[in-house]
Amino acid sequence: MSPAFKEHPLRHSVTAELHARTFDPLPSPARVFHLAAVCGERRSGANAEHLLRLLDHFGVRRPEQVGQYYAVDLGGGLWLRWERHTEFVTYTFSRHERFNHPFTDPLINELPQDWLREIPGQVVTATALALESCEMPERGSNELLALFEGNPFIGSEVVGGSSRAWSDLRIHSDGYSRILLRDCGLSENQAGRLAKRILEVDAYRAMALLGLPAAREATRALSEAERRLVALAARMTEGNDQDRGASESELLAELTTLATEIETVAARTIYRFEASRAYYRIVQQRLEQLRQRRIEGLQTFTEFLEARLAPAIATCDSTRERQQDLAKRAARLASLLRARVEVDLQHQNRGLLESMDRRARIQLRLQETVEGLSVIAIGYYGVGLVGYALKGLEAQGLLPIDATLGMGLSVPIVVGAAWLGLKRMKRRLLDGHH
């Protein structure tokens, strides 16, 4: 029956999110196998399809839709919980059964080999976990050492003393990590929560450490970038005025290239560093939820992981800060160099304007000189024409005065008319230009 009110489109998805990371009850004794495969953020369809292939193999009916998590009985007591995380997928197989050796013939051997080979992405953790019941005899240190192939192991009481947990957090000769739990009074729900939390610690600590190789690689690139940046800063104070312009152009081009390289390194690693920090916080949260108490002579899970994870995450953080600092320094040097180039350009422009002003004044003087010569030339030819006219009139007896005297009297009139005509024409040209 649909509610009468109008639902928010995300109401069901946000409610389902509360149950996306739940646990399955785990009766002891039991064995569990956990796989975590890094597949990125864009392969949800491939992972869901791969899950459906496994269901087909075991003859399990396909669900109508696969969301962020899915739990199903594969038959024969084998239980599967599949979960989609931001950039990795986990498969947790479990079965309630008695066993003599906790880690021989792990549950992964019951899965089809071709399906395992074709898991989308790359497996980052593959862990066999065994939960012993309190009815089984307690194992001594030598027996525990043998279970972990002679490797030093860590352990603690967990869930307030209701269970004990041991592991060496190593990859063994069979290719899998090992975790041993002992039920000292757990309910099935408590056992399920404990197994899930400790497996999450194992998966998230691996995801957190993926940032360390990236930090080491970035450190080498940043060291080279820092050396080049120092050399460029030193070159900015060198050089003479003669080759300064060309030198600054080269420096600016090199600085721009270097800044781009630094930003490229940062863009390639920033997500990994942020993810490592987030995964580290989850590891710390899950370790706190284990409610550990010390087993005499053994390091607790918190002590062991903090001693190794904290420096790794600190390295990622310092590398990220170094990237940001180098990017800022490169940007500051580029800004200073651009300011110097702009000042030099302003000086050059001022000198160019002054030179242009000097040339304009010279041109003006030349123009005025030319105008004067033009007035004289026009006056000369004008007086000559007037002289021809007057001499013609004198020859016909029509001129009451001497022609030569008339030419002399016409000189100021002709020259003045030429001067006024040139001025008027110049004014018209200037008005038309404006």
pLDDT tens digits for range 331-367 = 888 888 777 777 767 777 787 887 887 887 877 777 7
Using the predicted structure, report yes or no on whether residue 152 has a pLDDT greater than 80: yes
Q: 103 and 93 in contact (C-beta within 8 Å)?
A: no
pLDDT score for 356: 83
Cβ atoms within 10 Å of 34's Cβ, excluding its own = 27
pLDDT score for 350: 81
pLDDT score for 97: 93
User: Letter for the amino acid at 223?
Assistant: S
Collect all residues with Cβ–Cβ distance below 8 Å to 78 and sequence separation of at least 6: 58, 93, 94, 95, 107, 110
Using the predicted structure, report yes or no on whether residue 241 has a pLDDT greater than 70: no
Beta 122-132 vs 177-183: how paired, if at all? parallel
As a whole number, the mean pLDDT across the chain is 86
CA distance 23 to 333: 55
pLDDT score for 412: 81
- CA separation (Å) from 23 to 81, 89, 132, 152, 196? 9, 16, 19, 30, 6
Instruction: Using a pLDDT cut of 90, give the percent of the chain over it.
Output: 50
Using the predicted structure, report yes or no on whether residue 259 has a pLDDT greater than 90: no
* Exposed e or buried b per residue across 36-69, where buried means at least 16 C-beta atoms within 10 angstroms of its C-beta: bbbbeeebbebbbebbeebbeebeeeeeeebeeb
User: Letter for the amino acid at 254?
Assistant: E
Using the predicted structure, report yes or no on whether residue 206 has a pLDDT greater than 60: yes
Q: Which secondary structure element, helix H or strand E, spans residue 294, and what is its range? A: strand 293-294
pLDDT score for 415: 75
pLDDT score for 43: 62
Query: Between residues 371 and 188, which one has the greater pLDDT?
Result: 188
pLDDT score for 41: 74
Using the predicted structure, report yes or no on whether residue 126 has a pLDDT greater than 70: yes
Q: What is the CA radius of gyration of the chain?
A: 46
Query: Residue 410: which pLDDT band, with cuts at 50, 70 and 90?
Result: confident
Query: Residue 155: which pLDDT band, with cuts at 50, 70 and 90?
Result: very high
> Is the pTM of the predicted complex or chain greater than 0.85?
no
Q: For the ranges 53-67, 159-173, 295-309, 358-372, which has the lowest average pLDDT?
A: 358-372
